[in-house]
Amino acid sequence: MTERALVCDVLDKAVFGISLDTELAWGFTVNSKNETPSVLYNDPKQGRSTIDSLLKLLDKYEIPATWAIVGHLFLGPAKEKAFIHRKMPQFTEGWLDWNFYSSLEHNPLYYGKDIVERILAAPLKHEIGLHSFFHIPFSLCSREVAEAEVELGMKAAKKFGITPISFVMPKNKIGNVGVLKENRFQIYRGETLGRRSDNQLFLARAFNGGIDKIIASPSSPLYEDGIWKLPGSMYFCDPQIPFSLLPRARLGLSRAIQANKVFHIFLHPWNLLMYKRLRRDLESFLAIVDKKRNEGKLEVMTMGDLALYLNQSLGGI
C-alpha cells in the first residue's frame, strides 16, 4: 500500500487549510520583478493593514491559518544587528551587503515583531510556521545556506517561545528537505498541483495553464523521508483572470469533499493591496468553507494540526 493510499484511508472527511506567506519586503530581495515593493514603500503601514484585515476575516469565520513568517520578521528594529553574524554563509557572493543590512535598522518593511504579536494576540488561535529567514530559495541555495536559514529562523521564533513545526519554502520552490527533517519540522507545503509546467512546450503549457484556471486540485499529504509533504491546491490570487478565482476554489473544495482529501489554499497578505476584489472573494470563499464545516462535510486544520493528526492516526510515525 502506498503512502498516498494510506493517507486517503485515514481521512474520514475532507480537510480545508490556508497558509499565508508573510514576508513584507523580504519576499523581493533576491528577485524583485514585481511592482509590489513600490506599493509597500509608498505607505509601509498598508503592509500591516492587510495583516489586520486577514486576522479579522479569519476570526469572523473561525478559520485558523498557518502564518508562514520569514524569520527576520520576528525581530524588532531596535539594534537587532547582533543577531546576524558576518561569518554566516552567503546565498551568492556578496548577497548580504552589510551596508545594505545596516541601513535596514529602522525600516518597518524588514522587521515584524509587532506583526507576530498581533497574530499571537488574535482571539482565534493560529499556527505560526517558518518561511526561512531571509527568503532565500531553497531550490537554488547550498545545504549550508539552508541550514543557516533554518537555524536563524528557529532562533528568532524562540524569542516568542515558538518552535515551528510547519515550513513553507520561499517562492514555493522545493529543495533541501533533509534540513527540515533534521530540525524536527513535521510538514512542509509542496508544489502547487496543476497541469501546467515550465518544462512543457508553449502550446501544451498554454493549454494546461488554461485548464488550471478552471480546475483546482484537492491534495493528499505524502509522508516522505520522515516528514509530511502537503501539495498546495491553489494560489488564491489571479491577476490575469480574477473572476475565475472563486468558481475555481468552489469546484476544488467540492472535489475535496467528494474524495475526502485536503484543499489547501495560500496567498500573501500583500496580495490584498494589489487586487482590490481579492478580499471580497476570499470572504465569500471562507463563508462557503464555514457552511460546509457546519454541515459536517469537512474539518478546518492548520498545517501543523494536520501533521499531528496524521501522525497520531498512523500510529505515531
Closest CA to 261 of 310, 213, 295: 310
The enclosing H or E element of 4 equals: helix 3-10
Cα separation, 21 vs 34, in Å, equals: 16
List 188's β-bridge partners, or say none. Answer: 167, 229
- Name the residue range of residue 63's domain: 3-313
**200-237 residue pLDDT tens:** 344 434 433 444 556 788 999 999 878 999 999 999 99
Query: Which residue type does 156 have?
Result: A
Mean per-residue pLDDT of the chain: 86
70 is written with which cell numbers? 520569514
Cα separation, 237 vs 19, in Å, equals: 13
pLDDT reading at 106 higher than 70: yes
3-state secondary structure of 54: helix
Eight-class DSSP state of 169: -
CATH of residue 10's domain is 3.20.20.370
Looking at the structure of the chain, the number of domains it has is 1
**291-302 residue pLDDT tens:** 999 999 999 999
Mean pLDDT of 149-163: 96
Cα separation, 41 vs 168, in Å, equals: 25
Eight-class DSSP state of 122: S
Count of beta carbons in the 10 Å neighbourhood of residue 59 = 14
Cα separation, 37 vs 298, in Å, equals: 37
List 230's β-bridge partners, or say none. Answer: 189
CA dihedral angle for residue 244, residue 250, residue 253, residue 259, rounded to 10 degrees: -100
Residue appearing with cell numbers 502550446: 203
Please report the pLDDT score of residue 99 as a whole number: 78
Count of beta carbons in the 10 Å neighbourhood of residue 2 = 9
pLDDT reading at 34 higher than 80: no
